[in-house]
Structure 1
Amino acid sequence: MKRAEQVTFGGGGLDRAAHLREDPKALAAAWADPQAEVMLIWQGKPLSRRSGRGSSPDQLAMIPTDHPLAQARQSQAIFLGLTPKGAPQFACDMSDWQPDALDQAMLASFADASEQHHPDLPVGDVFTELRRMMAFLTPLEAELAATAKAVLAWHHSHQFCARCGAASAVAQAGWQRNCPDCNASHFPRTDPVVIMLITHGDSVLMGRSPGWPEGMYSLLAGFVEPGETLEAAVRREVFEEAGVRVGAVSYLSSQPWPFPMSLMFGCAGLALERELTIDTTEIEDALWVSRADMMMVFASEHPRISAARKGSIAHFLLQNWLADRLD
């Protein structure tokens, strides 16, 4: 697919500069670089501000490395890499801060619209759910946010050695954890997920999960199992969820999906049948949507169905399917 890397979180041009991760002197020099910037993340929400690209916060709000909030967390900072202009980029976790009047129910909701402001940061700089602003970020901002959010999520869930259970320590500028007891090394994980544009004639198969906003439908998706090809995962997941057998499968595009740390493999598949047998333990509903109806969905004119969230690979694939740009 020629436009594959135009998907959100893809193609930002970040130089990961992995050779610097094990060089303390080089990392110290990068931190001291006048161009260096730090992304603060609180409970998975990047610091952001309004720039006018969208109605909500829609731009990363980076801080300099000499800011007190960054300096206090330097020892645990994640080195993200270098921008195309050579500016070192870091990420620091702010989850130890506790805002006043925190609404835990809102934080746990599918569409967290809450914003948190730290008193030591400029007015207007707030921690914002990444899904709310991902469609408005520049490619570089999106790649930085996805990388930082996913790596920090891995650190939160992998603080102990999987071999012996001892507490592990951060190494390699945040890209490794080492066990002091059994000397095992652990690395950030990425969970492979297939997401499928399944078509039959001029219709596409859509589904919805429980808890999604009313009317929201998206492409079917599921985790790839050990020992399974992407093609086999597509066929298995579609049959398990919707009872539809799939023939030819092809790869379209991929998207890092930091919720919490997945890699979405966008695939196209040709259905061999239209009859649906929905497994309600997997999904809440599934249906075939014609191209004409999908055009109404994207125009927000459909009486029943609302589009997949902008910025998601589902929205990206459906948009290109409607425009006949899947080649």
Structure 2
Amino acid sequence: MKMTAGMAFAGTGRDRGHALRSDPAALAALLEAGRVLALWRGRVLFAPEDGGGGLGWLPAGHPLLEGAPSPVFLGLLEGQGAFAADLSHWRPEEGAPVGESGFDQGWQPHPLAPPGHGFGELRQRMAVLSPDEAEIAATARALLEWHRSHAFCPSCGARSAAGGGGWNRRCPTCQAVHFPRTDPVVIMLVTRGNSVLLGRSPGWPEGMYSLLAGFVEPGETVEAAVRREVHEETGISCGAVRYLASQPWPFPASLMLGCATEALDARITLDPVELEDALWLTREEAVEVAAGRHPRIRPPREGAIARHLLENWLADRMG
């Protein structure tokens, strides 16, 4: 049983072009003949939904890309060089429509984009992308967000510059080289007999619940992080922990480590800072959630690891 089947950003074995990152001449040739994915403040440029709603690729010389920093190299896609460019410097003209902000950002048009194209929230569209495009969009978002938040050398404070096709930043003052970071996050399928534990963070949209999750701390194993996070958030102690699957989650730069564990007790004592609510759902109730028929809880987002862990548990495919 392949736990990652149908999961967004789960990896395809696409050629990430590692050997090309240190070859400026090869990258320049690939860019000239390749394609560029534009992002604006974390939103990805998408093609029109009536045309499939895939990624809105642009040629390197497209007017929309004017003024953007040098594109970062994402590897090869269908034999072409794939790049990403950050357009966060662009500001819509006064009076122009601006997409909604919040948990799921809305659609943002751009006057120079091809007809029907616009910047959209990746989480809303990740499930409709092909595996290759989903992986490459996740890479683009994580990499560009890292560059936006790491413009200065953490060693000496001087402004650093992108290098290696966008896969590092080099400090001209102290010569330090810094690389993109990925933050490990455990996400837990916590069960007790015929029930599963779900939680809800403050500020989430109405009806949204998910499996518990939290960052792995320095000096901590994955197993210890699972037990600590569950106990901190709900007061529940857990037994043995086993790893199931992982998912890159570029919001902004996490790697979700899906695990399963059995609760040793059922009493919930909430940490109100971490969770607004937590509850046990029976398997029968979880079936109603997954089918979208539960009166209170909506199903986890399609393509997210939380949904896949829950669905595999419901189908007795946990191995």
What is the TM-score of this pair, normalised by structure 2? 0.95
Shift, 1:72, TM fit: 4.8
In structure 2, how many angstroms separate the alpha carbons of the residues matched to 1:224 and 1:153? Answer: 21
| Paired AA for residue 89 in structure 1 | A
Per the alignment, residue 42 of structure 2 pairs with: 44
The reply to whether residue 298 of structure 1 matches residue 290 of structure 2 is: yes
In structure 1, how many angstroms separate the alpha carbons of the residues matched to 2:98 and 2:264? Answer: 45
1:171-208 CA-partner distances (Å, limit 9, x unpaired)? 11111001111111110010110000000001110000
The reply to whether residue 7 of structure 1 matches residue 2 of structure 2 is: no
Within the candidate set 49, 63, 66, 2:58 is matched to: 63
Q: Secondary structure at the match of 2:128?
A: coil
The reply to whether residue 106 of structure 1 matches residue 100 of structure 2 is: yes
Per the alignment, residue 118 of structure 2 pairs with: 126
Query: Does the 8 Å CA contact 1:205/1:288 hold for their aligned counterparts?
Result: yes
Within the candidate set 123, 147, 162, 1:170 is matched to: 162
Superposed, 1:195-234 pairs within 5 Å as: 195-234=187-226
1:186-240 CA-partner distances (Å, limit 9, x unpaired)? 1001011000000000111000001111121100000000010100000000000
Shift, 1:161, TM fit: 0.6
Q: Secondary structure at the match of 1:89?
A: strand
In structure 2, how many angstroms separate the alpha carbons of the residues matched to 1:111 and 1:31? Answer: 31
Per the alignment, residue 25 of structure 1 pairs with: 25
Identical columns (%): 55
Per the alignment, residue 78 of structure 1 pairs with: 72
Indicate the larger mover: 2-11 or 115-124: 2-11
The reply to whether residue 257 of structure 1 matches residue 249 of structure 2 is: yes
In structure 2, how many angstroms separate the alpha carbons of the residues matched to 1:276 and 1:300? Answer: 25
In structure 2, how many angstroms separate the alpha carbons of the residues matched to 1:162 and 1:23? Answer: 26
Shift, 1:2, TM fit: 2.3
Query: Does the 8 Å CA contact 2:39/2:86 hold for their aligned counterparts?
Result: yes
Compute the RMSD of aligned alpha carbons.
1.7
1:270-307 CA-partner distances (Å, limit 9, x unpaired)? 11111111111111111001110011111211111112
The reply to whether residue 89 of structure 1 matches residue 87 of structure 2 is: no
Counterparts in 2 of 1:103 and 1:244: CA distance versus 1, 3 Å: farther
Counterparts in 2 of 1:52 and 1:318: CA distance versus 1, 3 Å: farther
